[in-house]
Structure 1
Amino acid sequence: MAISIKSFFHPQSATFTYLVSCQTTKSAMLIDVPADFDATSGTLSFQTADEIIAHINDNQLILEWVLESHAHADHITAASYIKQQLAPRNPCKLATGSKITQVQQYFSRLYNIDMPCDGSPFEQLFNDNDNFMLGEYNVTVIATPGHTPDSVCYLVAGNLFVGDTFFMPDSGTARCDFPGGSAKQLYHSLQQILALPDQTILWMCHDYQPNGRELANKTTVWQQRNSNIHLQNTEQDYIQTRQTRDATLNAPALLHPAIQMNIRAGQLPQAQQNNQRYLTLPLTVLF
């Protein structure tokens, strides 16, 4: 029996979520699930997550893992909401890369958040080449720093869920200008992925549909190696191209709310004395 891969697309953030399951045991893992957030009103909702929960229940899957490829800056994760809503039938663990502690340390200071920077509330922190079982299938974690320090990819049965490393070949690769990011590191992470067998399927976390082309979410190692627009020259060329492009990019629209939530796996901020929850907006004053 093969694994099953079901993708869900979140138009607000151009994000793909993947529900991967073992058809024999019904064991499942969910990768990069977004919540819905309206920045103008400050309203957080979970319609997208609820649709995924309904699919899990309708197909009688047992969700064992809610995985993040990294602490995203463009959407708020619904990881903790999913875990709460599916308990107790689905005793799933929240998991991400072990360098989330470094990301927590930086951003908890920026946003003045009093929190332990030990990886919690994530219950499993993965290092490079860690493995776990999904039913009958082995899943290997590949550390891929560069976009962020905590970035990881998940490899199962010839399928790699690449997070924010690769985009489709006509879009290139992810930005590297976030704290702890490095174009040099990302180049070497990309080469690690390109060393996998040619037929390995790469599942994208984002697609921004350049030139209005149809939405696309998967490619292969061979296709990336031969046609990715950022990887046809030398390492130094890549670093120069990446740094030059990053210098022109605006901050993601949901950067501040997303990071504050995502370093806590989507757990809500503690309510204040007026029973209202708040997120922080750092103010930069220019004269």
Structure 2
Amino acid sequence: MQFRLTTDRQARSFSASSTLTAPSNEPFKTHLPVKHSEPTVHSFYHKSTSTFSYVVAGSPYDAESGVLDVVIIDSVLDYDAASGSVTTESADGLMSFCAAQNYRVTAVLETHAHADHLSAGFYISRSLHVGHLNRVANPPLIIGKGIEEVQRRFAPRYGLTQGDLQGSFDLLIDEKMNLRVGNSRINAIHLPGHTPDHMGYQIGENIFTGDVVFLPDVGSARADFPGGSADLLRASIHRLLDASPQTRLYVGHDYPPPSRADPKCFSTISETQHENVHLKNMDDFVQRRLIRDKELAAPRLLHPSLQVNIRGGRLPPPGPDGVSRMQIPLTAGSANLL
């Protein structure tokens, strides 16, 4: 398959006077802080991949400019597998939203190398420049240090060299790193099990959990990817549940069951602990998770996502004709097919 990335708005200015593009990945909602010192969270639902992205606004405002610092978590490129089209409409919508709110993006965070959607992290971090409203030169693209293990596992499968991986991320973090958004501290929490690189980000009484747990009526993440572990996932969930009962867990995806019409993006620790369908008996969680994972099909966008996301959201290197092509490893059931 061959495709080209549509980047007609890549050099656009995000000044307050610009013509703004409405976010295409609606519905989005604003979740106001319970306490004055807490951040404001804007959630965006990317319907085609059931993915939540977040714009998290710290506190307080910059007294001189009136600008509020924000981070963007788990952004998405728009990818149509049938046509090979990759566009930036949803990512442009996030940036336009930030411009309309007088927000300054200070960092672009990834919870992990996603296997079900293409990240827009690299595109967003390189599309915001000094001189625009943002006033931060290419806010850093950040992911957990475990991404190096994920890259080692998957780069050879997609014909990617060490050189192809250089510059994919600006900062690899562990729990010792001190990050901030405005005056709010961001605590990085290593949450392996779904993937080795998985990080959660706690900002006040909000934890952005990626794919560790989902809404109570959906359950928990799978643990059967290379480098995954149901035992480690169980330990990571226990670690999350140690937070205060009112802490909100903002999830990476929602797959609403028939009993619930609309997607939701968070549940509290208390609700998760007492109502999550996969956590009601943690004693046999690992065994039930292993059985469940054997029944699951591979994610629809597994191969496109991984080869793009281990490079921070960059497309595969172009061939001699300037066209990027996805590599799809095949499993042949007979030597006669090779």
TM-score > 0.5 by shorter chain:
yes
**C-alpha distance in structure 1 between counterparts of 2:163 and 2:228, whole Å:** 22
| Residue 60 (structure 1) aligns with | 102
2:39 counterpart of 1:3: yes
Residue 121 (structure 2) pairs with residue 79 (structure 1): yes
SS in 2 for 1:283: coil
Structure 1 residue 147 corresponds to structure 2 residue 194: yes
Aligned residue identity for 1:20: V
Take 1:115 and 1:14, find their aligned partners in 2: how far apart are those partners?
32
Counterpart of 1:90 (choices 103, 120, 136) is 136
Residue of 237, 252, 263 corresponding to 1:205: 252
Match of 1:49 among 63, 88, 91: 91
Q: Which residue of 1 aligns with 2:65?
A: none
Cα distance in 2, alignment partners of residues 117 and 241 from structure 1: 39
Which of residues 291, 295, 305 in structure 2 aligns to 1:258? Answer: 305
Cα displacement (A) at 1:277: 1.1
Deviation at 1:55, TM superposition (A): 0.6
Change (3 A) 1:119 1:219: farther
Equivalent residue number for residue 168 of structure 1: 215
Structure 1 position 116, deviation (Å)? 4.6
Residues 164-208 of structure 1, C-alpha deviation per residue, up to 9 Å, x if partnerless? 001001111000000100000000000000001111011111000
TM, length-normalised to structure 1: 0.96
Superposed CA RMSD in Å reads 1.5
- Which secondary structure state, in structure 1, belongs to the residue aligned with residue 325 of structure 2? coil
Q: Which amino acid aligns with 1:137?
A: S
- Cα gap change, 1:117/1:125 in structure 2, threshold over 3 Å: closer, same or farther? farther
Aligned pairs for 1:177-196 within 5 A: 177-196=224-243
Task: Quote the residue 1:219 is aligned against.
Answer: 267
Aligned partners of 1:271 and 1:253: how far apart in 2? 23
- Output the amino acid matched with 2:51: T
Are positions 1:18 and 2:66 aligned together?
Answer: no
Q: What secondary structure does 1:273 align onto?
A: coil
TM-score w.r.t. the length of structure 2 is 0.82
Which deviates more from structure 2 when the two are superposed, residues 119-128 or residues 220-229? Answer: 119-128
Write the deviation string for residues 125-155 of structure 1: whole angstroms up to 9, x where unpaired: 1113532111111110000000000001000
Partner SS for 1:12 = helix
d(CA) in 1 for partners of 2:249, 2:104: 24
**Separation in 2 of the partners of 1:197 and 1:136?**
21
Please give the alpha-carbon distance, in whole angstroms, between the structure 1 residues aligned to 2:118 and 2:125: 15
- In structure 2, list runs of 5 or more residues that go unmatched: 1-35, 63-67
CA distance in 1, matches of 2:278, 2:238: 12
Aligned pair count reads: 286
Change (3 A) 1:110 1:54: same
Aligned to 1:244: 291
1:275 to 305, 318, 322: 322
What amino acid maps onto 1:216 in structure 2? K
User: What SS is found at the alignment partner of 1:153?
Assistant: strand
Distance 1:181 1:38 in 2: 27
Q: Is the 8 A contact 2:165 2:311 kept in 1?
A: no
- The residue type paired with residue 217 of structure 1 is C
Kindly indicate whether the alpha-carbon contact (under 8 Å) linking 1:104 and 1:117 is maintained by their aligned counterparts in 2: no
The equivalent position to 1:122 in structure 2, one of 140, 149, 169, is 169
Q: Is 1:27 aligned to 2:69, yes or no?
A: yes
Q: For the residues of structure 1 that align with 2:164 and 2:323, how far apart are their CA atoms? A: 24
